[in-house]
């Protein structure tokens, strides 16, 4: 474990980090329910964690959203029909498996299951606020046999059948929690009155009267929690079985990350080409002209003009220094020279360029791959730039560890907080850059601070 500290003006490293995090901001993939919860958390001063739902306040535990209650009530008939459909399909498919009608029946049933899955995704999105990504479309090979084989080997249809089976008990429990349990609570609370109204003869106050009212009130208080718990279970079940298979999700994530990385690299190459053409090339042309003038001054018939020659040489020296400085800035954006010695040398040098005092804590027991080192370096540069520009912090901490095949970078500041992906701080582009190397960015920045941003990624790709 090593510790360092440093402070100075923002320099090239901060600019490199800003340049690294300038990938085009894309719309966040959070669901509508997540965005509402994050907004509410920001207004109430609750911690906001990137990609995670904010915690529920104590007062909200006794309330139920209208969509959750409607899903519990209206979802029972659909759950019954779809559950019976799935069970009947599985049972009939087994019976017909030895006949000619078996495979065509299963193919038609799986196609029907895909349609029911789409209906459930819309209901979960509309009523529960959980936007489940639609799975990939079925391939369309030529020939009826090939198409039937594609349907039979489609994991989406089988996973949807499993969802319909598991949705049946959840639908029953949801209806019980939303309708039957409140009615039972009303009966228990009014039991002393109902008992005396229904019995022809007066009855004394007994233990049943004493227990029914507190029991009814206790169960009534538990109704919102039960509905919320079942709604959460329905969200997780839908996200697990109605969306793309894990392998498809992995492929889509990698495709999106590759597209972002290719776009970023293309933009960087175009910017490098423009800078070389408009800046460095023009400086080199000016340097060549200056040297040509100096050569003319030395080759005059009357002898060299020393004063003019000295001035031209000084100008050429200044132009050479400017060109070298510009070339260093351009090459530093490709791969920083500081990384030649690894993160243990690069990160302390990076923090030394920050105007905010930064304490460094390193535990680098293994050296990651070069691509991972570059991602960590540019991530640290971007985060320190954000601290200097947006946080209003008086101090910051940077921690990095590389242990057990995982690299973890943490930047914490005591600023004003309120940072979140998609609010103009480049965090969305930074998360996309990390996704290209299978990394994850987590933001914890409640209003008023402190802000903690954590990046985790593998040491080896």
Q: Are 29 and 394 in contact (CB under 8 A)?
A: no
Mean pLDDT throughout 291-318? Answer: 70
Output 46 or 155, whichever has higher pLDDT.
Answer: 155
In this predicted model, which residue has the larger pLDDT, 137 or 458?
Answer: 458
Tens of pLDDT, residues 252-293: 676 666 666 666 666 666 677 676 666 777 777 777 787 777
Residue 114's pLDDT band, with cuts at 50, 70 and 90, is: confident
pLDDT of residue 8: 38
pLDDT for the residue numbered 399: 92
pLDDT at 397: 92
Mean pLDDT of 388-397: 87
**What pLDDT is recorded for position 408?**
93
Q: Give CA–CA dist 319/286, Å, rounded.
A: 8
Give the Å distances, CA to CA, from 175 to 98, 220, 226, 231, 389: 39, 15, 11, 11, 52
pLDDT reported for residue 456 = 92
Residues of the chain with pLDDT > 90, as a percent, come to: 8
pLDDT of amino acid 63: 62
Contact (CB, 8 A) for 177 and 227:
yes
Q: With cut-offs at 50, 70 and 90, classify the pLDDT of residue 16.
A: very low
Write out pLDDT tens, residues 209-223.
677 777 778 888 888
- Report the pLDDT value the prediction gives residue 248, as an integer from 0 to 100: 67
Structure tokens at 280: 């460095």
Chain center to CA of 48: 13
Sign of CA dihedral 227, 230, 234, 240: positive
β-pair partners for 396: 358, 413
Q: 3-state class of 73 per DSSP?
A: helix
d(Cα 362, Cα 186) in Å, to the nearest integer? Answer: 61
Residue 398's pLDDT band (boundaries 50, 70, 90)? very high
Q: Does residue 60 have a pLDDT over 50?
A: no
pLDDT on residue 388: 87
pLDDT value, residue 74: 85
Does residue 36 surpass a pLDDT of 50?
no
Bigger pLDDT: 452 or 50? 452
Backbone angles phi, psi at 251, to 5 degrees: -65, -45
Please say if the pLDDT value at position 202 is more than 80: no
Residue 175 forms beta bridges with which residues? none
pLDDT at 187 over 70: yes
Q: Tokens standing for 217?
A: 């009130």
Kindly state the average pLDDT of the residues 20-47: 38
Listed range (83-92, 161-170, 182-191) with the worst mean pLDDT: 182-191
pLDDT at residue number 58: 43
Average pLDDT, the chain: 75
The pLDDT of residue 455: 92
Quick one: tokens of 69?
Answer: 């209650």
User: Does residue 199 or residue 235 have the better pLDDT?
Assistant: 235
When mean pLDDT is compared across 27-41, 82-96, 136-150, 380-394, the lowest value belongs to: 27-41
Residue 195 is predicted with a pLDDT of: 60
Start-to-end CA span in the chain (Å): 25
Distance CA 174, CA 113 (A): 22
Label residue 56 by pLDDT band (50, 70, 90). Answer: very low
Residue 142's pLDDT band, with cuts at 50, 70 and 90, is confident
Helix (H, G, I), strand (E, B) or coil at 453: strand
- pLDDT value at position 153? 80
| Helices within 96-190 (DSSP H only) | 102-128, 144-152, 155-175, 181-189
- Is 50 exceeded by the pLDDT of residue 13? no
Query: Higher pLDDT residue, 183 or 323?
Result: 183
Handedness of CA 213, 215, 217, 219 (dihedral sign): negative
Q: What is the pLDDT of residue 14?
A: 40
| Distance from the Cα of residue 65 to its chain's centroid | 25
The residue with greater pLDDT, 421 or 52, is 421
Would you state the pLDDT for residue 211? 74
Residue 316, pLDDT score: 80
Give the pLDDT band (50/70/90) at residue 453.
very high
**Residue 131: pLDDT band with limits 50, 70, 90:** confident
């Amino acid at each position: 474990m090593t510790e360092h500290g440093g402070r100075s003006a923002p320099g090239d490293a901060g600019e490199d980090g800003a340049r690294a995090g300038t990938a085009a901001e894309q719309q966040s993939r959070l669901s509508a329910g997540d965005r509402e919860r994050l907004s509410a958390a920001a207004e109430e001063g609750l911690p906001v964690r990137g990609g995670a739902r904010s915690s529920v306040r104590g007062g909200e535990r006794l309330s139920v959203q209208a969509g959750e209650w409607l899903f519990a009530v209206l979802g029972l008939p659909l759950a019954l029909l779809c559950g019976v459909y799935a069970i009947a399909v599985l049972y009939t498919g087994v019976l017909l498996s030895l006949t000619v009608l078996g495979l065509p029946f299963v193919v038609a049933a799986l196609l029907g299951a895909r349609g029911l899955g789409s209906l459930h995704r819309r209901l979960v999105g509309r009523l529960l606020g959980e936007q489940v990504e639609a799975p990939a479309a079925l391939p369309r090979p030529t020939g009826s046999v090939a198409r039937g084989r594609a349907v039979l080997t489609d994991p989406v249809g089988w996973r949807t059948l499993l969802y319909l089976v598991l949705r049946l008990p959840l639908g029953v429990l949801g209806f019980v929690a939303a309708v039957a349990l409140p009615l039972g609570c009303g009966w228990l609370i009014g039991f002393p009155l109902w008992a005396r109204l229904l019995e022809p003869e007066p009855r004394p106050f007994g233990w049943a009267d004493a227990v029914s009212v507190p029991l009814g009130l206790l169960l009534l208080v538990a109704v919102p929690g039960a509905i919320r718990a079942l709604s959460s279970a329905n969200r997780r079940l839908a996200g697990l079985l109605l969306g793309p298979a894990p392998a498809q999700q992995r492929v889509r994530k990698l495709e999106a990350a590759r597209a972002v990385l290719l776009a970023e690299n293309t933009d960087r190459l175009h910017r490098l080409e423009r800078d070389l053409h408009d800046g460095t090339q023009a400086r080199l042309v000016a340097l060549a002209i200056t040297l040509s003038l100096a050569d003319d001054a030395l080759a005059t018939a009357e002898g060299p003009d020393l004063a003019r020659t000295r001035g031209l040489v000084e100008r050429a020296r200044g132009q050479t220094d400017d060109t070298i400085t510009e070339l260093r800035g351009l090459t530093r954006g490709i791969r920083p020279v500081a990384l030649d010695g690894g993160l243990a040398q690069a990160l302390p040098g990076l923090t030394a360029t920050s105007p905010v005092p930064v304490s460094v804590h390193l535990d680098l027991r293994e050296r990651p791959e070069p691509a991972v080192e570059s991602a960590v370096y540019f991530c640290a540069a971007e985060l320190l730039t954000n601290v200097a520009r947006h946080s209003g912090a008086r101090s910051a901490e940077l921690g990095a560890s590389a242990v057990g095949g995982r690299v973890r970078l943490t930047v914490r500041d005591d600023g004003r907080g309120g940072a979140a992906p998609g609010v103009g701080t480049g965090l969305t582009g930074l998360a996309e850059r990390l996704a290209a190397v299978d990394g994850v960015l987590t933001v914890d920045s409640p209003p008023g601070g402190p802000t903690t941003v954590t990046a985790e990624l593998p040491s080896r790709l």
